[in-house]
Homo-oligomer: A and B are copies of this chain.
Amino acid sequence: MNLNTVSPAPEPAQVATRTQILEAAGEVFASVGFRDATVREICARAGVNIAAVNYHFGDKETLYLEVLRYSAAQAHAQYPPLLNVSPAAPAEERLRAFLHSWLLRTFSRGATAWHGQLISREMVDPTGALDEIVRDKILPMSQQLRGIVGEILGRPPGDEQVRLCTLSIVGQCVFYHHCRPVLTRLFPQQPPLDTLGTERLADHITRFSLAAMRHLTDPATT
């Protein structure tokens, strides 16, 4: 069992309350975290009995794990790493697509929106689920981005420069999502990131990072 295989896939009869619980739990876990989320609140929102969670998922913790798998599958299905850009496209173009897809995924509203929140929480306060997430989702994306960066820098993917630059790029993306509560307080006049905003933001990060990588080894740089 891993994050790439959506769990058992039960018969249509039981699927109703099961997914209702998954959706409700996604909302609640994302907004208040695992510990502050109560089974009662989840069940109330799902319109099912309190005992349903334990009946269908065993306990609260495995429900949380299932929600993580469920949201991961949805998010990555809706926004694949390179969007609609060909893997044969120039590295610069793939970089822009990668970043835009990332921002869309983490900033999307609705069902896939939990995913970003859940992952953020998982990073600062890991549960047992983080190992699975890193193995099945983050590591592959990390390797993909390192390939792109390696092409741009003209160095092998295992190179230390490539690794550092990759992290500098990802860091910018993660930051906007993790620190949203801070950013909205720092810039109250700034509107929240909508679809148009993510495209502009992806453009800035791409240009910033490309300029950095192209001139990182300039002799002029201190």
Contacts and interface: CB of A to CB of B under 8 A. Distances in A.
B221 A211 contact: yes
A93 to B, nearest CB: 8
A166 B28 CA distance: 33
Interface residues of A, number: 54
A210 interface: yes
A216 B221 contact: no
B178 A172 contact: no
Question: How many copies of this chain sit in the oligomeric assembly?
Answer: 2
A123 interface: yes
Given A121-B124, A121-B125, A123-B182, A211 B207 contact: no
A175 B181 contact: no
Interface string A207-222: 1111111111010111
A15 interface: no
Interface string A161-196: 001110110111111101101110111000000000
A130 B185 CA distance: 9
Given A33-B125, A171-B173, 7 more contacts: A33-B35, A121-B124, A123-B179, A130-B182, A164-B208, A165-B208, A178-B178
